[in-house]
């Protein structure tokens, strides 16, 4: 990958970073884009930028299957309860009419 390829690939990233609260990453990527650093430091800078973005977005956290299972169970129970109530609402309405 040449420096012009890296430069064209970084344009959207730099524009997003300029509008967010990550000015140090924006400056790092601008330096990489301009080619003022060596290839090794470009790779290191890009890796640190990606890690910082993942941590800022919450993507650096591990997947917790127990928490995911609890969330799934909560919503499944909610949907099942709503289905059961809506299926049997006629019985409740008829009971209210008779009294």
**Which residue intervals of 35-88 are DSSP H helices?**
39-57, 65-87
Q: Return the structure tokens found at 39.
A: 């290839």
Give yes or no for a contact between 40 and 32, defined as CB atoms under 8 angstroms apart.
no
pLDDT at res. 57: 64
Give yes or no for a contact between 66 and 34, defined as CB atoms under 8 angstroms apart.
no
Among the listed residues 30, 22, 89, 14, the one whose alpha carbon sits nearest the alpha carbon of residue 53: 22
Q: Return the structure tokens found at 51.
A: 């890690």
Q: What is the pLDDT of residues 8-50, one digit of tens each?
A: 555 555 555 555 555 565 666 666 566 555 666 667 777 777 7
Per-residue confidence band for 69, with pLDDT thresholds at 50, 70 and 90: very high
pTM (predicted TM-score): 0.38
């Amino acid at each position: 990958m040449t420096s012009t390829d890296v430069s064209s690939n970084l344009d959207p990233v730099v524009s997003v970073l300029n509008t967010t609260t990550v000015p140090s990453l924006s400056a790092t990527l601008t330096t990489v884009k301009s080619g003022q650093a060596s290839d090794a430091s470009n790779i290191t800078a890009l890796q640190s930028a990606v890690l910082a973005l993942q941590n800022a977005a919450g993507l650096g956290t591990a997947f917790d299957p127990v928490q995911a299972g609890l969330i799934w169970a909560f919503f499944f129970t909610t949907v099942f309860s709503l289905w059961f109530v809506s299926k049997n609402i006629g019985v409740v309405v008829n009971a209210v009419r008779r009294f």
